[in-house]
């Protein structure tokens, strides 16, 4: 299924007209782990297996690809059925309710933020990114993000290599879903992200920084502003956080030492 569909819309201005428009698709995905419902993710259909894997990884339910036997997204519509390897212990009690991850707030309903901030170790600081690689990323993202051009309604998350080469891009109606899809791709494909950086099309929140840390991404950049908690989290986790990346300018809120400026 594509990320958008046509609907009839009334345009009101100096005169009223009715025509077809394209809007982003949003549907629920029921995530089931070993027969147990874990979450309902409001997402844009597509790459559901990656979304499931990324969500389980960033939520601390799995730690590696080896713990996942298979992910079935074909048997039931809007379901991702995850089967873990024998012996993998899941702390379902940590998810205190059936987590409903809305497109605007993946953190809604979590028992505590403190439990999340202590889940992953800080990232190492030995990788350096050139300013030029960072500056070229927004245009690369814009060229690759096709659905947004048609609907204006999807967020994008992309991962670039150390020299600025685009590794993967995913779109979704939810920013956190787009990042989960990217991280799920890396987990399933066995790609080490410790010398890569992420670029997000929207605002950078605490949850996005937490997910990036779980994926061992040392740098996260955004076209827009970060939240105060995102900045605090990045500094505590030794992450580099770049906001307002709009060449030829950008702001560095944490981890300046990873950037080689021209």
Task: Please give the positions annotated as active site.
Answer: 105
- Asked if residues 181 and 172 have their Cβ atoms less than 8 Å apart, the reply is yes
> 129-130 and 99-101: which strand pairing?
unpaired
C-alpha separations of 259 from 44, 226, 246 in Å: 34, 18, 16
Those residues whose C-beta lies under 8 Å from the C-beta of residue 77, and which sit 6 or more positions away, are: none
Q: Per-residue b/e over 226-260, b at no fewer than 16 CB within 10 Å? A: bbeebbbbbeebbbbbbbebeeeebebbbbeebbe
Cα 117–chain centre separation = 17
Q: What is the dihedral of CA 174, 207, 216, 47, to 10 degrees?
A: -20
Measured distance CA(206)–CA(227) in Å, rounded = 7
Instruction: With beta carbons less than 8 A apart as the criterion, state whether 51 and 59 touch.
Output: no
């Amino acid at each position: 299924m594509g990320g958008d569909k046509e609907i009839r819309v009334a345009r009101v201005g100096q005169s009223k007209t009715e025509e077809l428009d394209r809007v982003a698709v949003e549907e629920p995905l029921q995530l089931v782990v070993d027969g147990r419902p874990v979450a309902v993710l409001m997402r844009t259909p597509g790459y559901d297996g990656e979304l499931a894997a990324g969500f389980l990884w960033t939520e601390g339910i799995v730690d590696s690809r080896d713990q996942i036997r298979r992910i079935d997204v074909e048997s039931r519509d809007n379901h991702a059925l995850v089967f873990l390897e024998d012996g993998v212990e899941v702390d379902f009690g940590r998810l205190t309710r059936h987590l409903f991850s809305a497109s605007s707030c993946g953190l809604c309903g979590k028992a505590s933020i403190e439990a999340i901030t202590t889940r992953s170790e800080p990232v190492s600081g030995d990788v350096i990114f050139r300013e030029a690689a960072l500056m070229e990323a927004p245009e690369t993202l814009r060229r690759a993000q096709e659905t947004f051009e048609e609907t204006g309604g999807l967020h994008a998350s992309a991962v670039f290599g150390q020299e600025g080469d685009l590794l993967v891009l995913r779109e979704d109606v939810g920013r956190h879903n787009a990042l989960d899809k990217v991280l799920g791709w890396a987990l399933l494909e066995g790609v080490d992200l410790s010398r890569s950086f992420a670029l997000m099309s929207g605002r950078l929140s605490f949850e996005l920084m937490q997910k990036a840390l779980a994926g061992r991404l040392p740098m996260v950049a955004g076209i827009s502003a970060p939240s105060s908690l995102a900045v605090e989290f990045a500094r505590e986790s030794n992450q580099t956080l770049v906001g307002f990346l709009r060449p030829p300018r950008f702001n560095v809120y944490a981890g300046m030492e990873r950037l080689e400026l021209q």
